[in-house]
């Protein structure tokens, strides 16, 4: 059985106004995340899928991220199967931080990748 290759992009290819979906757990999100990202932990994803479809009803591309790319690859595969334009961000938040992309926390402390 052949599977289509998973669509993925380098962290540098995520537009500054691109839609980012962060599927890491709450403690990872709290440590630091991409500004403006939607946070739905992979463990809650199926139950909260409607939040994503509502946020992307304009058909824009979803850039899926986790810490290094494993969990986000699974979520990306699921989204593509649902007909959503989704891409996995290679290297995840570690690559994001390494590329100097902006990161924030909800409480104003310095952001880092947990």
Shortest CA distance to 49 belongs to which of 71, 75, 30? 75
State pLDDT tens for residues 15-62: 999 999 999 999 999 999 999 999 999 999 999 999 999 999 999 999
Residue 31's CB is within 10 A of a number of other CB atoms, namely 17
Find the catalytic residue in 38, 52, 66, 113. Answer: 66
Q: What is the DSSP string of 7-58?
A: PEE-GGGS-TT-EEEE-S-HHHHHH-EETT-EE--GGGTTTTHHHHHHHTTT
66 is known as an active-site residue: yes
pLDDT digits 0-9 by tens, 85-111: 999 999 999 999 999 999 999 999 999
């Amino acid at each position: 059985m052949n599977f289509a290759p998973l669509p993925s992009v380098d962290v540098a290819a995520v537009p500054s106004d691109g839609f980012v979906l962060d599927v890491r757990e709450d403690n990872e999100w709290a440590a630091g995340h991409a500004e403006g990202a939607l946070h739905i932990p992979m463990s809650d994803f199926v139950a909260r899928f409607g939040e994503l479809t509502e946020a992307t009803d304009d058909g824009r591309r979803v850039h899926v991220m986790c810490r290094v790319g494993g969990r986000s690859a699974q979520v990306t595969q699921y989204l593509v199967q649902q007909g959503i334009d989704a891409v996995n961000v290679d290297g995840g938040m570690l690559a994001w931080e390494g590329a100097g992309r902006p990161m924030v926390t909800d409480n104003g402390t310095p952001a880092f990748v947990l």
